[in-house]
Amino acid sequence: MIRRGVLEVLSKDKLSVFLFHKVPPNADPLIPGDITRAGFERILDQVVSQFRVLPLEDAVARLHSGRLPRRAACITFDDGYADWMHGAAPALLKRDLHATFFITTGQFGGQPLWHERIQAAVRALPGPLLDIGMPSLGQPSVATLADRQALVVRLEQDLKYLTLAAREQVLLRLEAAAGVQPESLPRMSAAQLRDLHSQGFGVGGHTINHPILDYCDEQELVKEVAGVREQLQGLVGGAIAGFAYPNGRPHADFSRHHVEAVRRAGYAYAVTTHWGVANSATSPFQIPRFTPWAQREWHALYQAGRNLLLNPVQVPETAG
List residues near Zn ion by CB under 5 A.
78-79
Question: 143, exposed or middle or buried, with CB in 10 Å at 0-12, 13-18, 19+?
Answer: exposed
* Shortest distance in whole angstroms from residue 320 CB to Zn ion: 29
* Shortest distance in whole angstroms from residue 246 CB to Zn ion: 5
Choose between 78 and 175: whose C-beta lies nearer to Zn ion.
78
* Shortest distance in whole angstroms from residue 249 CB to Zn ion: 12
DSSP-based three-state secondary structure for 131: coil
Other C-beta atoms closer than 10 Å to the C-beta of 2 total 6
Beta-carbon contacts of residue 37 (< 8 Å; ≥ 6 apart): 23, 24, 25, 26, 87, 88, 91
* Shortest distance in whole angstroms from residue 139 CB to Zn ion: 30
* Shortest distance in whole angstroms from residue 299 CB to Zn ion: 25
**HSE (side-chain half, CA atoms, 13 Å) at 202:** 25
Choose between 79 and 224: whose C-beta lies nearer to Zn ion.
79
Choose between 130 and 193: whose C-beta lies nearer to Zn ion.
193
DSSP-based three-state secondary structure for 13: coil
Choose between 98 and 115: whose C-beta lies nearer to Zn ion.
115
Choose between 78 and 253: whose C-beta lies nearer to Zn ion.
78
Beta bridge partners of 17: 74
* Shortest distance in whole angstroms from residue 112 CB to Zn ion: 13
The letter for the amino acid at 314 is Q
Q: Which residue is nearest to Zn ion (CB)?
A: 78
**HSE (side-chain half, CA atoms, 13 Å) at 168:** 8
The letter for the amino acid at 258 is H
Torsion of CA 166, 172, 177, 180, to 10 degrees: 140
Choose between 79 and 253: whose C-beta lies nearer to Zn ion.
79
* Shortest distance in whole angstroms from residue 194 CB to Zn ion: 21
Choose between 79 and 147: whose C-beta lies nearer to Zn ion.
79
Nearest one of 229, 235, 260, 254 to 313, comparing CA atoms? 254
Q: Supply the DSSP symbol for 224.
A: I
State how far the Cα of 102 lies from the Cα of 104, in Å rounded to an integer. Answer: 7
DSSP-based three-state secondary structure for 38: helix
